Structure 1
Amino acid sequence: MAVRSSPLALTVLAILTYKPLHPYGMQRLIKEWGKDQVVNVGQRTSLHRAIDRLAEGGLIRVHATERDHAYPERTVYEITEAGRVTARAWMKEMLATPRKDFPDFPAALSNLLMIAPQEALSALEGRAARVSAALDEHDRILADNARDGLDRVSGLETEYARTITAAEHAWLLSTIEALRAGTLTWTSATS
């Protein structure tokens, strides 16, 4: 069975390259290493589905089953050689090929005519405040990395996220200014 690449599947393979782990340990490391900023592990079922797909595809296998009276039985997984090869191929593909994503924000912008400019202004001001806070968080993480003497490569995803966030923030501020000045206006479909 061919397994389709995904950010979560790649991250699971990368973590298992480090050492065999059970799903809870994988989730903990993903969060500990800050990978939850780039992959969604908020729902444990998503992680379990990814693990199941990787195992069915022969990219990971059961390493051991741990039994501890304080915890339910835990299955520990390890990466296979096919998993190592596949992870490297996915990594190269993801690095080299832009993929069309369909996030919520551009979809909402494409339907802005549904609401009045004043409603859009209020919503965009709220978003700008949240994006500004995200910029501050990226800066904090990068400063912590520098303070801790981490190599730049360990924070490249944060650098990238900060660059994208800064561009969005600048765009939001200019759009908010145009709405406030009345140079960007329309009649909403519900008016």
Structure 2
Amino acid sequence: MTSGPRSSPLALTVLSLLHFKPLHPYGVQRLIKQWGKDRVVNVGQRTSLYRTIDRLLAAELIAVRDTERDQQYPERTVYEITGAGREAARAWMLEMLREPRREFPEFPVALSNLLLLEPEEIIGALAARLTAVESELAALDSSLAGSHRSGLPRIAGLEDEYLRAVTAAEAAWLTGTLADLRSGTLTWDTDELRAFAAAAEQQPG
């Protein structure tokens, strides 16, 4: 076997789905959306899915099972997981569960550069984000309630529980920060910040 590709959320998800049955790429994408995994895996661009499948195939973590031919659709290559793929999926899963990774999402980057904006702009932007976050929170609550009503085992929806907790925490933080901005509790002086930055530049090391 050639050296395998690095783990990624999409690669792990493809291998996990192929654990259950052989699938063609469209079937993989459809199941990701049907099972609500598109909340944690980005499959908006089908090309990224095909690239991931190509990497898994080159690394012999998956193999071609068959080619489906139907007059209504173009030929579809059906893939199945290999023994090496099963081992890789387990290793990736354990690594992702055990080891927090330092990720670099956009929102903290924007927060670190807030001084480019006026206070009113910051309040408007964060208020709009809070509305979006609250909408996402409601969607997660609805999804979790639906899972409970359907009798779906809890283990199958733990990612929604985690996302719900993270989303609720963000909503609470945004609410508190907006209150501080509006009341004037959170304020700053641009000249003082510039002076602080200049002094920091003079520090050795």
TM tier, smaller: over 0.9
Q: Is the 8 A contact 2:4 2:61 kept in 1?
A: no
- Give the match for residue 93 of structure 1: 95
| Corresponding residue number in structure 2 for 1:177 | 179
Larger radius of gyration: 2
Q: CA deviation at 1:187?
A: 5.2
Shift of 1:188: 6.3
- 2:49 maps to which of 44, 47, 51: 47
Deviations 1:107-137 (A, max 9, x none): 0000001101110000000000000011101
For 2:30, the aligned partner's letter is R
> Out of 4, 7, 20, which is 2:6 matched to?
4
Structure 1 Cα separation of the partners of residues 7 and 81 of structure 2: 15
Equivalent pairs, count:
189
Deviating beyond 6 angstroms after TM superposition, the runs of 4 or more aligned structure 1 residues are: none
Structure 1, unpaired ranges of 5+ = none
Q: Is 1:64 aligned to residue 66 of structure 2?
A: yes
| Structure 2 unaligned residues grouped into runs of 5+ | 192-205
CA distance in 1 between counterparts of 2:29 and 2:72 reads: 19
**CA separation in 1, counterparts of 2:190 and 2:154?**
47
Q: TM-score, normalised by structure 1?
A: 0.97
Deviations 1:1-54 (A, max 9, x none): 321000000000000001000000000000001110100000000100100000
> Bigger relative contact order, structure 1 or 2, given CA contacts below 8 A and separation 6+?
1
- What amino acid is aligned across from residue 109 of structure 1 in structure 2? L
How much has 1:185 moved relative to structure 2?
2.1
Residue 134 of structure 1 is matched in structure 2 by 136
1:151 is the counterpart of 2:170: no
Please report the RMSD computed on the Cα atoms of aligned residues, expressed in angstroms. Answer: 1.1
**Partner residue of 1:116 out of 115, 118, 123:** 118
Residues 114 and 188 of structure 1 are in contact (CA less than 8 Å); yes or no, is this contact kept in structure 2? no
Q: Provide the rounded CA distance (Å) in 2 between the counterparts of 1:188 and 1:131.
A: 30
CA contact (8 A) 1:113 1:186 kept: no
The one-letter code of the counterpart of 1:97 is E
